[in-house]
């Protein structure tokens, strides 16, 4: 392969990133459901023709998809090799989480890209569809004990052959969703994004020859590896352990351990999850591709300057016990994968806090609080409001944590209240910051939020919650305090009630005028509370973020001497 000069490499890197970014933007504009259109729960990228490794990924999609989509592409490569019929214009589609990672709501489309009759790379699109069948609208079923109770399972199949779409596959998909119009709109949006990717790749390879672009892709991966090794050499050698827990698996009320041993030796690192809980009955299991991808996301948080490609992971070994909930086998349920990968990121940050505390933040709120409210309108049409909700991020060596942010597994945004109220028969009685929810410290954590959602539909509705952090608070680091825990309640005729399993429940019957209420966790604090500036404490109290009572109890009363 030919050498490539630095200027050409930089230009090509920018061009290929722009292709992936434009594919992201195309789907976001075209998608029907707000989880993609507003929250940007989707991703696009370019992947190796031989290994499926990530070459380039769009910057607007979810970081977790960087790693898991390479497994999805590898699955297509294996199927195409077994079938022996890969051709230009083919498009594969599937949602099998044990093959492609994450969960069944994420629909993956993989398209081989040919140039001058030769396979050059793969283009891939993944998006979170609003509903893919299963027992619970929106597919977050906290009581699932196998994937078939979560959603319709589609293995890798050809949606299109040589550019001709197989309508039979589309008919099957649309028959297995409560919201066929939404599903069809999202599918067409993903197909449009792939078409655009092909056009942009044609333009790129017409301007630069295939050998030059291939050399650029190889050089970018090699440089990512060199940068990662350099970063590791700057850290002390050693071994550090951390552990945290999930509330339960949604079936039995027993905590589940996520344990990590982090070891650095020279320019190599190992993330060993031995000691984590065994595969469980409920849907907080995750498949091995998801675990490896989550390790990548955590590493990218610690080393944010590194590029988004597979070269970053070459010096890193991820060790996962085969019988653990981090390497679940089909048909174990995986619908709540978000909660488990958030806890994985927490333990990576906690372990790194011992090795390099200036590089990490305290634990964020640690749950997306996947909440579905569903019912039928007076005309008989079904509606499903599925969304996720924000909370506080952890404090750092530089600043307080972000108030009411989104989960650190994504760059997605929380769908605006106005969009949700316009689309569904609900009203938000409250959408506000949650006072006194932040972990205390020299730099406090960010505040969680309070959401109270009333059902307006005269036929009522059912609610389903899949959350976490109802028993184990987000941890502070460097002597920082823990954030407040998650609290969920729902309104009934005799008052407000709480779920028996604290953070998970299905089939909550709500009449018109009744509501659900989420009080989300705050982030952990960073550093000793005794080192927080009195002026910062006084400002928090004046803004209503921290009560005077909590300030006195945790920080003392010197803040009262600060003039406001």
C-alpha–C-alpha distance, residues 482 and 471, integer Å:
12
- How are beta strands 268-272 and 256-265 bridged, if at all? antiparallel
Mean pLDDT of 177-199: 97
Q: How do residues 515-554 score in pLDDT, each as one tens digit?
A: 999 999 999 999 999 999 999 999 999 999 999 999 999 9
Distance separating alpha carbons of residues 564 and 562, to the nearest angstrom: 6
Range 115-125 average pLDDT: 96
Instruction: Tell me, yes or no, whether 36 lies in a domain.
Output: yes
Q: Of 225, 253, 284, which residue constitutes the final position of a domain?
A: 225
Does 61 score more than 80 pLDDT? no
Q: How far apart are CA 167 and CA 159, in angstroms?
A: 8
Say how many domains are in the chain.
Answer: 2
pLDDT in tens, 205-216: 999 999 999 999
- Angle at which helices 548-555 and 534-542 cross, to 10°: 160
Distance CA 246, CA 265 (A): 30
Give mean pLDDT, residues 435-452.
Answer: 98
- Structure token pair of residue 47: 């992947």
Mean pLDDT to the nearest integer, 183-200: 97
Sign of torsion, CA 460 466 470 475?
A: negative
Tens of pLDDT along 333-378? 999 999 999 999 999 999 999 889 999 999 999 999 999 999 999 9
Residue where the block lists tokens 């653990």: 324
Specify which residues 241 forms β-bridges with: 261
The answer as to whether 319 is a domain residue is no
Which CA distances in Å does 297 have to 73, 92, 292, 344, 431? 18, 26, 9, 10, 29
Q: What is the pLDDT of residues 275-301, one digit of tens each?
A: 999 999 999 999 999 999 999 889 888
pLDDT of residue 242: 96
259-265 average pLDDT score: 97
Whether 260 is covered by a domain: the verdict is no
Domain boundary among the residues 209, 225, 241 is at 225
Cβ neighbours for 104, distance < 8 A, ≥ 6 positions apart: 95, 96, 97, 132, 134, 139, 147, 150, 151, 152, 153, 334, 335
The percentage of residues in the chain with a pLDDT greater than 70, rounded to a whole number, is: 99
Cis status, amide bond into 150, omega within 30 of 0:
no
At 481, the pLDDT band (50, 70, 90 cuts) reads: very high
Predicted confidence (pLDDT) at residue 113 exceeds the cutoff of 90: yes
Identify each DSSP E strand in 222-308 by its residue range: 238-246, 256-265, 268-272
Q: Helix (H, G, I), strand (E, B), or coil: what is residue 451?
A: strand
Where are the strands (E) in 141-237, listed by range? Answer: 157-161, 164-165
Q: Of 171, 195, 225, which closes a domain?
A: 225
Q: Does residue 518 sit within a domain?
A: yes
What's the mean pLDDT in 456-472?
97
The structure tokens listed for 273 are 């999850």
Residue 500's Cβ-count burial label (10 Å; 0-12, 13-18, 19+) is exposed
CA-nearest of 482, 123, 101 to 296 is 101
What's the pLDDT score for residue 1? Answer: 47
* Inside any domain, residue 345: no
Residues 408-435 as b/e (b if ≥16 CB within 10 A, e otherwise) read bbbebebbeeeebeeebbbeeeebebbb
pLDDT in the model for residue 377: 94
Asked, for residue 264, whether it belongs to a domain, the answer is no
pLDDT value, residue 173:
97
Q: What is the pLDDT of residues 390-432, one digit of tens each?
A: 999 999 999 999 999 988 776 667 888 999 999 999 999 999 9
Residue 326: inside a domain: no
Q: Are strands 118-128 and 106-115 parallel, antiparallel or unpaired?
A: antiparallel
Integer Cα distance of 380 and 81 in angstroms: 47
Which residue is listed with tokens 């599937």?
94
Write out the H or E segment, with its range, that includes residue 119: strand 118-128
More confident residue, 310 or 270: 270
**Token digits of residue 517:** 């209420």
The residue assigned the tokens 């992971």 is: 313
351 found inside a domain: no
Mean pLDDT taken over the chain: 94
Concatenate the DSSP letters of all residues of 6-41 into one string: HHHHHHHHHHHHHHHHHHHHHHHHH-SSHHHHTT--
Q: What is the pLDDT of residue 2?
A: 57
d(CA 364, CA 349): 10
Nearest to 100 by CA among 124, 129, 132, 131: 124
Residue 279's pLDDT is 97
| pLDDT value, residue 310 | 83
State the residue range of the domain holding 154. Answer: 6-225
Predicted confidence at residue 140, as pLDDT, reads: 87
Is residue 55 over pLDDT 80? yes
Residues 6+ apart with CB under 8 A from 161: 87, 89, 90
């Amino acid at each position: 392969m030919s050498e490539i000069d630095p200027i050409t490499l930089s230009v090509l890197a920018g061009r290929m990133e722009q292709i992936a970014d434009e594919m992201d933007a195309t789907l976001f504009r075209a998608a029907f459901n707000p989880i993609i259109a507003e929250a940007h729960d989707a991703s696009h990228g370019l992947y190796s023709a031989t290994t499926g490794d990530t070459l380039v990924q769009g910057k607007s999609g979810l970081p977790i998809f960087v790693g898991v989509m390479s497994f999805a592409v590898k699955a297509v490569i294996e199927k195409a090799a077994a079938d022996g019929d890969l051709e230009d214009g083919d498009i594969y589609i599937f949602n099998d989480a044990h093959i492609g990672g994450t969960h069944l709501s994420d629909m993956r489309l993989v398209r081989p890209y040919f140039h001058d009759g030769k396979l050059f790379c793969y283009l891939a699109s993944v998006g979170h569809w609003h509903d893919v069948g299963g027992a619970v609208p929106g597919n977050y079923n906290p009581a699932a004990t196998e994937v078939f109770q979560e959603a319709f399972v589609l293995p890798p199949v050809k949606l299109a052959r040589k550019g001709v779409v197989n309508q039979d596959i589309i008919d099957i998909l649309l028959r297995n969703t409560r919201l066929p119009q939404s599903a069809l709109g999202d599918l067409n949006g993903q197909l449009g994004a792939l078409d655009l990717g092909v056009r942009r790749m044609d333009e790129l390879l017409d301007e630069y020859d295939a050998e030059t672009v291939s050399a650029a892709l190889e050089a970018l991966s090699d440089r990512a590896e060199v940068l990662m090794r350099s970063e590791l050499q700057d850290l002390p050698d050693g071994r550090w352990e951390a552990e945290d827990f999930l509330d339960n698996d949604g079936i039995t009320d027993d905590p589940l351990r996520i344990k990590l041993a982090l070891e650095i030796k020279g320019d190599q690192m190992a993330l060993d999850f031995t000691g984590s809980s065994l595969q469980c009955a409920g849907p907080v299991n995750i498949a091995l591709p998801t675990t490896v991808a989550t390790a990548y996301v955590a590493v990218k948080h610690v080393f944010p300057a590194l590029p988004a490609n597979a070269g970053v992971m070459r010096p890193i070994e991820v060790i996962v016990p085969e019988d653990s909930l981090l390497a679940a086998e089909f048909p174990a349920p995986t619908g709540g994968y978000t909660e488990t990968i958030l806890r994985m990121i927490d333990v990576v940050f906690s372990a790194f806090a011992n090795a390099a505390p200036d590089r990490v933040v305290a634990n964020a709120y640690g749950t997306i609080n996947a909440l579905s409210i569903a019912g039928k309108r007076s005309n008989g049409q079904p509606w499903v409001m599925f969304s996720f909700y924000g909370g506080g991020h952890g404090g750092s060596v530089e600043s307080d944590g972000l108030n009411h942010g989104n989960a650190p597994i994504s760059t997605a945004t929380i769908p605006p209240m106005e969009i949700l109220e316009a689309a569904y028969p609900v009203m938000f009685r409250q959408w506000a910051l949650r006072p006194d929810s932040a972990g205390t410290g020299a730099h406090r954590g960010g505040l969680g939020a309070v959401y109270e959602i009333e059902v307006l539909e005269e036929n009522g509705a059912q609610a389903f919650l899949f959350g976490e952090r109802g028993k184990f608070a987000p941890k502070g680091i460097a002597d920082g305090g823990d954030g407040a825990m998650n609290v969920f309640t729902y309104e009934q005729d005799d008052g407000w009630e709480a779920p028996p399993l604290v953070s998970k429940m299905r089939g909550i019957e709500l009449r018109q005028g009744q509501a659900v209420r989420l009080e989300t966790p705050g982030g952990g604090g960073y550093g000793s509370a005794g080192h927080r500036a009195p002026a910062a404490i006084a400002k928090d109290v004046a803004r209503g973020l921290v009560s005077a009572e909590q300030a006195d109890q945790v920080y003392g009363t010197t803040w009262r001497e600060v003039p406001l």
